[in-house]
Amino acid sequence: MFGLGPSFPAKKAIKTFKENNITKIIELGAGLGRDTIFFAQNSIYVEALDYSTFAINKINQKAKELNLSKFIKASLYDVREKLPFDNERFQGCFSHMLYCMALSNANIENLNNEIHRVIKNNGINIYTVRHTDDGDYKKGIHRGENLYENDGFIVHFFSNEKIKKLSEVFNNFEIESFEEGKFPRRLFFVQNKKIN
């Protein structure tokens, strides 16, 4: 669906991670691992979580085939639950379009707080979300809050205000708009830094 190479956000994130000497991250909603593999190939240790057993098996298979197992640990996980990690375990977090899955505002706030908990001071959280200027916003079946279902997929759309509210727990230092795919999907690329 999204191609085999790394996503544009992952290529952008790697620059930030390298500039900040980040070598250990968590990736949430890793899918089939195209970004996980890219980070590992750049000597970043990644603990990849996804809701799909098929996806996790695929990531572990690719890691073994590419001799990257020492850089990748993939596990099955539902992000609506508490993250299964100790406080301040990671230097960073990356998630491409996870926040805009079929999650409620409360789910997203809890997830955001959990990410803040598990990354170290000066750690960086990078995520992308589809926003309210996207062509699918307010189309299809309204599922409450800013959730709309199109072609069987429920998407949570984000406004600038929602990003700013989520950034309050962090020190927000970048929000950028970009487009992806043929449609195109319109997204925000968000970078937050944890400063105690």
> pLDDT at position 1, please?
44
Summarised one tens digit per residue, pLDDT across range 5-18 is 899 999 999 999 99
Q: Is residue 2 part of a domain?
A: no
pTM for the full predicted model = 0.95
> pLDDT at position 2, please?
46
> pLDDT at position 112, please?
96
Q: Is residue 122 part of a domain?
A: yes
Domain CATH code at residue 160: 3.40.50.150
Please identify every stretch of the chain with a pLDDT value under 70, giving residue numbers as ranges.
1-4
CA neighbor of 133 nearest in space, from 175, 98, 184: 184
Q: Is residue 1 part of a domain?
A: no
- Angstrom distances, CA of residue 144 to CA of 31, 73, 124: 25, 35, 30
Q: Is residue 3 part of a domain?
A: no
3-state helix, strand, coil split of the chain in percent (to 5) is 30, 35, 35
Domain that holds residue 167: 8-193
Q: Is 149 exposed, middle or buried (0-12, 13-18, 19+ CB in 10 A)?
A: middle
> pLDDT at position 3, please?
54
Count of structural domains, the chain: 1
Q: Is residue 166 part of a domain?
A: yes
> pLDDT at position 171, please?
83
> pLDDT at position 102, please?
95
Q: Is residue 47 part of a domain?
A: yes
Residue 168: partners with Cβ closer than 8 Å, 6 or more residues away: none
